[in-house]
Amino acid sequence: MSSSETDNNLRAWIFIILMVALTGLVVSRFADFQSLITTLIKGNWYWVLVGVAIHILYFYLDAVVHKYSFATVEVKSRASELFPVLLSAIAVNAVAPTGGTGGGALFIDYAVRKGQSGARTAVGLILGLMADLVTLIPFIVAGVFFLRAHRELKYYETLGFLFFLIFIFGMIGVLLLAYWKPKILQRIFKWLYRAANRIGNWFHHPNLLPEGWDAKNAAEFIAGARAIRDHPREFTYTMVWGMAIHIVNLIGLYAFFLAYQQPVRLGTLVAGFSLGIVFFIVSVLPQGIGAVEGIMTLIFISMGIPRTNAIVISLAFRGVNFWLPLIAGFILLRKVTSPPERGTPVQGEPAEN
């Protein structure tokens, strides 16, 4: 192992330890660790294992979403091959939070090794993200209205919801502009590029955004809008599977309520699930560490779930929704990034049905 790899691994482990410490700090605000451990080990392990199995299915179906988003831009892939890349991307994004670009590079590298276009793969990642976020909207709206109807909607939950809507409708607006007025979009990205670097210059970082950032991003959104126009069936499949994975994820959360014999109303389940994802997206903390566990626990407690059960269920859900794929991703990362064996073909194979 080279010294650079050793340094990277050391930084990764330090970062993971800090994330665990931050999670522990948040948890300690709700209950003492002894009561949490006691409650945790009293769970029905059959349902715990069911929850784990459901989330493995969830991540595999997320690979299916990526397969169809790539198919929209004419990049051939297999869900079975994308699955380990997806888990590795989660690990990379967790320890090197760069807006998803680190994990995205793994998908691009995978596509290039298969003889596919790296540029088109980058566009496919944007479309996959769009599908993921747009299909979340019904769950989030339902959760917010449920809390409002019970007068339990807090100001920070409303702000998180509004920031999420601004983000997602901003992306939709950019795609629409890319389709109808691409030249205007190019000018907007150029203005953003110049403005960002002007601000960076005030802090002695004149190259805050790299050269060509504006042209690259505008081109990706324009290509994405055209891909949706030219391949509506593939993008429809992306959206359908995007909705399916959220339903599977929600069922996985419910399995932990069953594991701890905790009755829960559907509205409470949806509210905790959906706003947990909102704070995962809008939180300034990497991967929403602390924020997701905290908001889910607060929502469950506000809707009558006992404090200890609320935090244990939230932690169990995050354990299989974030920590489990993170660990698996680290294990698979070396295999995913290893060069193909000599003689291994790199040309694209037909995508699975």
Q: What is the DSSP letter of 288?
A: G
**Where residue 124 falls among pLDDT bands split at 50, 70, 90?**
very high
How much is the pTM? 0.85
Task: Indicate the range of 93-97, 106-110, 118-122, 178-182 predicted with least confidence.
Answer: 93-97
Q: Is the pLDDT of residue 343 over 50?
A: no
pLDDT value at position 346? 43
What is the spatial distance between Cα 59 and Cα 63, in angstroms, rounded to a whole number?
6
Mark 130-169 as b/e (b = at least 16 C-beta within 10 Å): bbbbbbbeebbeebbebbeeeebbeeebeebbeebeeebe
Domain-wise residue ranges, the chain: 58-337
**Where residue 101 falls among pLDDT bands split at 50, 70, 90?**
low
Q: Is the pLDDT of residue 31 over 70?
A: no
Q: Is the pLDDT of residue 100 over 60?
A: no
The answer for residues whose C-beta is within 8 angstroms of residue 29's C-beta and 6 or more apart is: 294
* Cβ-contact 292, 276 below 8 angstroms: yes
Query: Span 273-301, mean pLDDT?
Result: 88
Query: Span 106-114, mean pLDDT?
Result: 92
What rounded mean pLDDT belongs to the chain? 86
Q: Is the pLDDT of residue 41 over 90?
A: no
Closest CA to 48 of 255, 297, 310: 255
pLDDT value at position 334? 80
Task: Indicate the range of 31-45, 279-293, 315-329 predicted with least confidence.
Answer: 31-45
Q: Is the pLDDT of residue 171 over 50?
A: yes
Query: Span 175-188, mean pLDDT?
Result: 92
Inter-axis angle of helices 307-318 and 232-259, nearest 10: 140
How remote is the C-alpha of 68 from its chain's centroid? 17
